[in-house]
Amino acid sequence: MKNALGREIPERIGSRVVEPYKGAFAVRNEGRKAARYQKSSWPADDKVLPSLDAAIDATGLSDGMTISFHHTFRDGDRVVNQVLAACAKRGIKKLRLFSTALFPTHAEVIDHIKSGVVSRIEGSMNGPIGHFVSQGGKLSEPAVLRSHGGRWRAIEAGDVEIDVAFIAAPYADPYGNATGIRGATPCGPISYSAVDAQYARKTVVVTNDLAPFPVYPMEIQQGWVDVVVEVDEIGDPENIASGTLRLTKSPTRLLIAQLTTDAVVHSGYFKDEFSFQGGAGGISLAVTKLLGDEMEKAGIVGSFGMGGGTRMLVDLLHRGLVRTILDGQAFDLDAIRSIREDDAHVMIDPGMYANFDSAGCSTYKLDTAFLGATEVDLDFNVNVNTHSDGLLLHGIGGHQDVASGASMTMITIPTLRGRIPVIVDSVTTVTSPGEVIDVIVTERGIAVNPKREDLSERFRSAGLPVRELADIKAEVDRLVQPVAKPIVGDEIIAAIEWRDGTIIDVVRKVEGFE
């Protein structure tokens, strides 16, 4: 069958009956959420166990179960590998790995897939694991990728039942209260795991800094936690930035940042109480900085900037240019310090950020957002998951959540990466549909979604280089040789969920290249 974007989707993917994507806001999920487990604990109970092995015993973790993790340490995480190694050693098989995201540091997951310890993955795969899955088909069911809000929704809706949640906690007490913003190795808020902790059959806090009761703030609460384990290492906070957190020095990217800033300033949204979401990419960081200067110049105070928190965003708060930062994850240590010190730097969880099945998402209050893409197409569809070579190399992050929430969603992209054009006829994979994308900013001009004639007019009046997306594409295509296209088989290796639980696209196995 075809979904509302014309993407070919099977009626079943693995054991799952597919609901095809119908539109960004076409589905109202009604009825009830999943029911959480009752738990109990008596005053004298002691939750602290001496090892991950003891925790695995205590939780009854066994073949075929689903285990979950957060990604807040990103490429510095040390918990996923430790838990999987312990499971492998015990001969546990067929686990479903339900991490928010996996990174190159988790490459040993590939061996666990080969040996049958892991047979399913739901969550983002950044780098080698996605590469392996794209070419392999070694999983018993296709992977499922969800946005930050989509993952929260899926757990609450009962789409994914977690058997054991393992929560890397930089600072925790023996009763299970835990935070990511304090301790020996802070990684930023760990509230990604708050929904796991509440819904899992058993919840394990894994910390390298066990402190006396009560640890606060409590992204993870004692009432959700069954077991606390202290280990030597949970992650390297120097790695939370994953190398992405540098202001770009590329003239092309700086030009894009400048054009994006100019477009925001002339969009009609740029006034007191203005709000925006920045990201951790080089262009986003540069826009955050440039926009701050424009706000200062214009005497504008924004209502909120939304994180991932960065020092650029914190700087705007400290200069009084935004009243508030709403933050679900930290991209650098300055942001973590600011959460500790600045009352107006408010931690929110991904449910509050972007749960489709809630009475309101913070992303819906955004005036604008500047987001990246691996590809865009002439229908303004955006791909952030695969590359033009067909390989699944990135997660969704909050892309869908923010793109569909912001009043003006801007995609900031260079037209070429190496010799590969970024604007294509049809994206390899749709992550966010064209209907939620308003503006595409490139170094060759600004393309505006035809449904936003109001924006084109404002930009044109301001003398900004508004162009047809097709014209920009044609100009770029003349500069490069056609690239080798992937030979894609029939086998589906991953499903891309829209944030409402429908399937917006699938990723197929890459058999080779033309």
Whichever of 43 and 463 has its CB closer to a second copy, that residue is 43
Element (H, E) at 474: helix 469-479
Binding site residues, a second copy, CB under 8 A: 25, 28-43, 45, 47, 156-157, 175-176, 203, 212-214, 216-218, 221-226, 273, 303-304, 323-324, 326, 340, 343-344, 346, 348, 351-352, 355-362, 364-365, 404-405, 407
Whichever of 377 and 500 has its CB closer to a second copy, that residue is 500
In sequence order, the 6+-apart residues with CB closer than 8 A to the CB of 362 are 306, 326, 348, 352, 353, 354, 405
Minimum distance between the CB of residue 363 and a second copy, rounded to whole angstroms?
8
Minimum distance between the CB of residue 193 and a second copy, rounded to whole angstroms?
15
* Residue 86 phi, psi dihedral angles, 5° rounding: -65, -40
Whichever of 240 and 361 has its CB closer to a second copy, that residue is 361
Minimum distance between the CB of residue 395 and a second copy, rounded to whole angstroms?
23
Whichever of 222 and 429 has its CB closer to a second copy, that residue is 222
Question: What is the Cα–Cα distance from 334 to 205, expressed in whole angstroms?
Answer: 25
Question: What is the Cα–Cα distance from 205 to 218, expressed in whole angstroms?
Answer: 12
Minimum distance between the CB of residue 260 and a second copy, rounded to whole angstroms?
21
Whichever of 274 and 380 has its CB closer to a second copy, that residue is 274
C-alpha 148: how far from its chain's center? 5
Whichever of 33 and 94 has its CB closer to a second copy, that residue is 33
In the DSSP assignment, the letter for residue 235 is: B
Minimum distance between the CB of residue 219 and a second copy, rounded to whole angstroms?
13
H helices present in 248-375, as ranges: 251-265, 282-298, 311-318, 333-341, 350-354
Residue 493's nearest CA partner among 159, 147, 139, 146 is: 139
Whichever of 202 and 394 has its CB closer to a second copy, that residue is 202
Minimum distance between the CB of residue 213 and a second copy, rounded to whole angstroms?
5
Minimum distance between the CB of residue 49 and a second copy, rounded to whole angstroms?
14
DSSP symbols for 265-300: HTSS--STT-EEE--SSHHHHHHHHHHHHHHHHHT-
In 3-state terms, what secondary structure has residue 77? strand
Whichever of 349 and 443 has its CB closer to a second copy, that residue is 349
In sequence order, the 6+-apart residues with CB closer than 8 A to the CB of 159 are 153, 501
Minimum distance between the CB of residue 360 and a second copy, rounded to whole angstroms?
4
CA-to-CA separations, 76 to 15, 90, 175, 229, 336, in angstroms, rounded: 33, 25, 26, 19, 16
